[in-house]
Structures are given as C-alpha cells and as structure tokens.
Amino acid sequence: MTLPQTRAFQKVVDHVEQAIATGELAPGDRLPSERELVERFGIARSSVREALRVLESMELVRSQPRDPRGPLVLPASTGPIRRSLQMLTATQAVSLPELVQFRMVADAAANLMAATRRTDAQLLGLERNMARMRESIPLGYGAFSRLDLEFHELIAEAGGNTLVRLYGNVTRESVLTLIQRTILDAGDREALMRRSVRHHAAVYQAIADRDGPLASRLARETLYAYYADHVDEADRAIMADLVRECGGTVS
C-alpha cells in the first residue's frame, strides 16, 4: 500500500498550503485536530504529524499542546525567509560583496521612500534612536550595532515597502555578522562608531527635509566608503557604478 508518487504527509501539506494561499484558511483559523486529519486524509497520525512539522517550519501553522481547538493558522511571516537567507550566507552561498551591493540598492530605495512618506512621529523615532546610539558608544560595538540596525529598520518601515524592508533587514543583519569579525579587529572602533553617528545624522536630515535623492545618494556613498576596502577590484567597480548611477561621487 505504498504510494510511489507522493508521500503521504505531502497530501496534507499541499492541501493546507493551497487553502492558505487561496484565503480559504485565514490567520486565526484552526486546523482539525491531528486525529481528525487522520480520518479526513486516510493516513496515519505519524504522517499527519510530519505534515504539521513541515507546515510549522514554514510558519504557516502552530501546534500547541493540549489545545482542543487544533493547530492555529498563523499570519504570513517573513521568518522562514530570514532563516533561509542566514543559512545561505552562513554557507558562503552568498558572499559579502553581493550582500553589500544589494544593501546599497535596498538602503537607497528605503531612504528615498522614507523621505517621501515619513511621518513626524517616525522622524521622532529616528531622533530617539540617534540619541540612544550616541549614548551607547561607550558600551561597546555590540549594543551600538543593534541600534544601528534599528535605525535602518525604522527608515525601512517609514518607507512603507514590505519587500524593501524585509530584504533590507535580512541583508543588513547578514552583512553585520560577516563583517563583525573584521570590525572587532579594527583598531579604533570608537572612531568608526562616531563616523556612523555622523552619517546617520546626515541621512536623518535629508529625510526630515524630504530630500529623497540626497537620502538615497548618502546611503550608497556611505556603504561604498565603509566596505569598498573589503571587496576585490571587480566588485568595487560594481559598487562604484551603483554610487554614480544616482549622481553620487566615489570618495
């Protein structure tokens, strides 16, 4: 009684995936209990459980012990994408130059959009972040870099584009983990941090002034200045192209 084509659990996975994609199952809905899925799909409970583990790993559903209402359908999440991306960078499938180049593109877009769409409240959030960042300099690079990520995340959020935000956040995190070792070796970390604060202030001002092109150019120029020395000639040329594309100058 073996099915050569598809494995038993795959039927359940496909069915639930389809139902969620079509909106038939919405976040907050409940799947039937494991034992009920056994009857509906005519497969063993172990197979049902394999299906639920797969759906859980995609963050589509969540099973909770002793919940009589059944597995919960979750809202669409970017978690699996983040984890997959981190695995790609961890296994060197994506290199630092690729990450930096993409970050130039994503940060530029985020800054541009934020300059147009930002609200005063979001501007205030950026101010508060910058204040905390200045205070964190004596605390070391760990706390500082978390606030650095938050600064860009706030901008991406203000930009209002889910994809720019998601890809940008993941990319920034990956860049940070890859570069952290190098940074820690650098002699004058405090100078690096102070430079970051100045760059953030410039970007903040451009966004406050609703000067999108400037905010965009600052992102590209800054990233070029930070990372150009960490990549080889060919990748540096691409980065320079990205800076010049929008009228920027390579320092």
Partner DNA sequence: GCCTGGTAGCTGGTCGGACCAGCTCGGCGC
Partner DNA sequence: GCGCCGAGCTGGTCCGACCAGCTACCAGGC
121 binds, among a copy of itself, DNA, none (CB under 5 to 8 A by kind): none
| 57 touching DNA, by CB under 7 A | no
Q: Is 17 in the site for a copy of itself (CB under 8 A)?
A: yes
70 touches which of a copy of itself, DNA, none (CB within 5 to 8 A by kind)?
DNA
Q: Provide DSSP, 30-58.
A: BPPPHHHHHHHHT--HHHHHHHHHHHHHT
Residue (4 or 75) nearer to DNA, CB? 4
Bridge partners of 61, per DSSP, are 73
The two three-digit tokens of residue 155, written as one number: 């901008």
Return the closest-CA partner of residue 127 out of 104, 148, 100, 151: 151
H/E stretch holding 171 reads: helix 162-185
Using an 8 Å Cβ cutoff, are 60 and 16 in contact?
A: yes
Contact set for DNA, span 11-50 (CB under 7 A): 33-36, 38, 42-47, 49
> Which residues contact residue 251 at a Cβ distance below 8 angstroms, ignoring those fewer than 6 apart?
221, 224, 225
Binding site partner of 42, from DNA, a copy of itself, none, Cβ cut-off 5-8 A by kind: DNA
Q: Is 122 in the site for DNA (CB under 7 A)?
A: no
Cα 155 to Cα 108: distance, rounded to the nearest angstrom: 11
Residues near DNA (CB under 7 A): 1-4, 7-9, 33-36, 38, 42-47, 49, 52, 63-68, 70-71
Residues near a copy of itself (CB under 8 A): 3, 9, 17, 20-23, 46, 49-51, 53-54, 56-58, 60, 65, 75-76, 78, 80-81, 83-85, 87-88, 90-95, 98-99, 101-102, 105-106, 108-109, 112-113, 116-117, 161-164, 167, 171, 212-213, 216, 234, 237-238, 241-242, 244-247
